[in-house]
Amino acid sequence: MTGSPDIREGEVTVGFDPAQTPDASVHFIGKVQSPWSPGDCPKNLRQAREDGRGAVLVLKPAFAPALAGLEVGQAIIVAYWMHAARRDMVVQAPRHLDEPRGSFAIRSPNRPNPVSLGTVTITAIDLDAGRVEIDAIDCFDGTPLVDIKPWLPTIDTPA
């Protein structure tokens, strides 16, 4: 929990560190190459899109074959692990909100399981190299990758 924010007024923690009580494990499939460092990372994917700079998903070689079937122009959901996040916060008071809100009601990286999601578009793909170029991402360079899924409007938009 290095780099965790301090607790602000109205914030509540769960009283234990979910990272220390594991129910299952995650294996990182690769990492994100992005133009961002912790100091200048966009606050969300909308801001990253406005910037206009893309990013690259770089898979570990063993997982490169799992990209077969993805195509340029296709929308994908990228799941990435916010390893600097604080996992014990259940109510948070981000500065842009009027009042504290539950961690499951906001998109903060600080959550019991710090997986962030972004829906992005493939701009180039190199299957042999295990590299997928995308239009934008809101995480800093080196962020671990958890999953890539095709975005499907029948599942990924409300009924």
For its own copies, the binding residues (CB under 8 A) are: 12, 14-16, 18-19, 21-29, 44-46, 49, 62-63, 65-70, 75-77, 79, 81, 83, 87, 90-91, 100-107, 111-113, 115, 117-121, 135-136, 144, 146-152, 154-159
Report which DSSP code applies to 19.
G
The residue whose two tokens read 């990182």 is 28
Q: In whole angstroms, how close is the CB of 14 to its own copies at the nearest point?
A: 5
Q: What is the DSSP string of 55-121?
A: EEEEE-GGGGGGGTT--TT-EEEEEEE-TT--SSEEEE--TTSSS-EEGGGS--S-SSS-EEEEEEE
Based on CB atoms, which residue is closest to its own copies, 123 or 141?
Answer: 123
CB of 150 to its own copies, least distance (A): 6
Query: Could you give the CA distance from residue 70 to residue 141 in angstroms, rounded to a whole number?
Result: 23
- Nearest approach in angstroms of CB 100 to its own copies is 7
